[in-house]
Amino acid sequence: MVCVCNATYCDTLDPVVLPALGTYVKYESSKAGKRLERSEGSFQRSLHAPGTRCGRQRLAGSCLRPTVTPASLPADLVLTVDTTQRYQKVKGFGGSVTDAAAMNILSLPETAQDHLLRSYFSEEGLEYNLVRLPMASCDFSLHAYTYDDVPFDYELTHFSLRDEDTKLKASALAMSKQPLSLYASPWTSPTWMKTSESFVGKGTLKGQAGDKYHKTWANYFVRFLDEYAKYNLTFWAVTAENEPSAGLINNYPFQCLGFTAEQQRDFIAWDLGPALANSSHRHIQLIILDDNRLHLPHWAKVVLEDEKAARYVHGIGIHWYLDFIGPIQDTVVPTHELFPDYFILATEACIGAHFWERDVILGCWDRGNQYSHSILTNLNHFVAGWTDWNLALDLEGGPNWVKNYVDSPVIVDSSEGIFYKQPMFYHMGHFSKFIPEGSQRVGLVASKESKKVDLEYTAFLRPDGAVVVVVLNR
């Protein structure tokens, strides 16, 4: 099931209004067709804490034992919130503005473009606050390019943003009225800096950390931030490289730049860290890895046990593509335990990337379930947020210059001037709309009786004092 939006119609949500004391608000989406459907109810007097009424509470300890049994849950299920147990704070939720996403958004009639962006970013939509941008091209571009393809331009004299940035990405971002945390990731350096002298395939930066190639590549990040600032777009963070392991693979099919953990450590310590620290962007956050969590905790240990590199780093980015062979308990959890002061952020996920998956399946409910399952698993294991891949793709799952088509929560049919909101879109909303930046995960325990029901759940204390519980019944 999909929701169809065009120039004259698009479904909207009301801004979230906190419930009165002793009451709750429930939002439900279902395979049968509910889409963030709102209802209200009252708490029963708690069996666990007799004589207390609990709704939106300002941290009264004993009062945090309400029993809520919406009709969709079995009557013997009790989820108990415990706000004395505190875990990670949330950075947020969002998606990526690739060249492809921006092209698809801007291919619609202007009012439909507005509907699409409001659906993601406004109070009548999902209230996304995180946006990832590729630095120059990626596979979801019409062709491969960087911002300085003039050979041996070590001074970056010829560095310039492309139409893809100024006419597409900047235009799309300018339409969002909410403050956004933007973060950027490079796929490849200019080919003249690479051992392969190619955008694709196995290749690393020429030379070694501290030399002119590495210094120039670090300054390229600063120039990128400088140029975007001219369009009034400032960044919260950069990642040191998108999927650095990709550039270590023979015949890798699209833009990449290889780094081992040791090479990334040295590049940050000698080049990228100092370049950012000595620029006007010294407050920007630097994220390492930005690759499958399979590389943890090894990658984090190599980079963060080096004092010179670690002082420049703020967080660790993870992608979801090999989650099925890298359980979160063996990767993310030990990393958090070793380095609790560094945030862990899910920086990329999409369905359709594996060869055995169909690219676009309009209305596929199970793909929404996959998103929610991943988000819940991540949130329950110290991850601070979750970023989807392309915000919008076409009916084919592109454009993509190497035909690496995938699915997206929003699919655009520009020939009809319409776009489809898929189940993945509404699943994202159950998190992004209700768990704002600064919320903190708290304890949530299920009664033993609920073990026979296959539920996944998490709870957060919002900055405004309200508690949010998200439950997935797959």
What are the residue numbers of the active site? Answer: 243, 348
Strand partners, 178: none
Which DSSP string do the residues of 205-232 spell out, in sequence order?
Answer: BSS-TTSHHHHHHHHHHHHHHHHHHTTT
Token reading at 414: 């520009």
Q: How many residues does the chain have?
A: 474
Strand partners, 258: 204
Strands (E), 293-359: 315-319, 343-348
Give 385's contacts (C-beta < 8 A, 6+ positions apart): 90, 91, 92, 93, 94, 130, 345, 346
Q: What is the C-alpha end-to-end distance of the chain, expressed in Å?
A: 16
As a whole number of angstroms, the distance between CA 71 and CA 73 comes to 6
What's the DSSP call for residue 394? E
Q: Contact, 377 vs 349, CB < 8 A?
A: no
Q: Contact, 430 vs 376, CB < 8 A?
A: no
Q: What are phi and psi of 171, to 5 degrees?
A: -65, -45
Token reading at 426: 């509404």
Rg of the chain over CA atoms, in angstroms? Answer: 23
What's the DSSP call for residue 244? T
Q: Contact, 3 vs 35, CB < 8 A?
A: yes
Q: Are strands 393-394 and 410-413 parallel, antiparallel or unpaired?
A: parallel
**3 state SS of 286:** strand
Cα atoms in the 13 Å half-sphere on the side-chain side of 213: 15
